[in-house]
Amino acid sequence: MSELFGTLSDGTRVHRWTLERAGVRVRILTYGGIVQSVEVPDRDGRTANVVLGFADLDGYLAHPEPFLGAVIGRYANRIAGARFPLDGMVYALEPNDGPNSLHGGERGFDKRVWDAEPVAHGVRLTRVSPHGEEGFPGRLEVAVTYTLDPSGALRIGYEAVTDAPTLVNLTNHSYFSLGGGNAGGHELRLAASRFTPVDADLIPTGALDDVTGSRFDFRAARKVGAGYDHNLVLDKGVTDTPVEVGELRDPASGRVLTVATTEPGIQLYTADHLGDPFAPGDGVALETQHFPDSPNHPDFPGTELRPGVTYRSETVYGFGVRG
């Protein structure tokens, strides 16, 4: 089902699509490809929204920085110095995080209105990112498809093609709050034996450090706590199909979120600096991705996309209850 959600100052209409299956209801906006809400039951069958969002379009326009629920691109996370080398050239991007580029620039995919069409059990969003948008080379045709599978899991599939060599690293920036309150007490498990340490600007040093004995070790489930904005290196690496890599659980409500992905990393962000109207720790973001600043680290999994090749990535967020 599609309905008008609001209108931008230039007259562009924003629509909201509602998907329902197996007791799960998800609402998707054409503005930013935003996951506005995900309603799932708790252990007692009581349904509530488990992602952070706003009730109207004005809320998203007034508070763009948290990137609530949005599609992030062309490049999720940070690129150091807003510059990267590709095929012997150095490309300069628009810095929007001090000297660095963050989440695709000042007006990335999260602030664009996408075209939408229905598909079986979901909606397919598309847009064309022109050559030079935010400094990225190549004309990029992008599609993001949201579907609910028979169990009610939210499946997000990404595809892109380009007419010139470029970078692509797409993700979704939903913040999960499985109990409806502060998420600091949620328990997290991730199959990640390494992480990418960062400098003061949250740029990876290039090392892949062992999590053993550190606060980054979530191989056994434990409380998330606060103070995370880091990429964890998934043990499975890049895969052709989604592989389950972990879960987030709220002991109070019994709700469980499982994560499966084709991506090699997850950015764990505990939302310590969300700002008004949210409090620190109100949500936990689990952004499936290639690593931050990969173009400037040849040893990291590559993020280049070339003509004739289709970029594909898929992440599945499953919902259940336990305990």
Residues tagged in the binding site annotation for beta-D-galactose: 77-78, 173-175, 229
Bond into 74 cis (ω within 30): yes
**Token pair of 83, please?**
């510059």
Contact of 293 with 80, CB cutoff 8 Å: yes
Q: What angle do CA 69, 251, 184 make, to 5 degrees?
A: 50
Contact of 30 with 158, CB cutoff 8 Å: no
Tokens 């969300």 locate to 274
Rounded distance between C-alpha atoms, residue 290 and residue 298, angstroms: 13
Q: What is the DSSP string of 266-280?
A: EEEE--TT--TTSPT
Alpha carbon of residue 72 to chain centroid:
6
Binding residue positions: 77-78, 173-175, 229
Burial (CB < 10 A; 0-12, 13-18, 19+), residue 251, is middle
Q: What angle do CA 118, 141, 11 make, to 5 degrees?
A: 65
Residues 6+ apart with CB under 8 A from 261: 234, 242, 243, 245, 288, 313, 314, 315, 316
Rounded distance between C-alpha atoms, residue 224 and residue 188, angstroms: 6
- Phi/psi region, residue 99 (left: phi>0; alpha: psi -120 to 50; beta: rest), is alpha
Active site (catalytic) residues: 173, 287
Tokens 């326009």 locate to 61
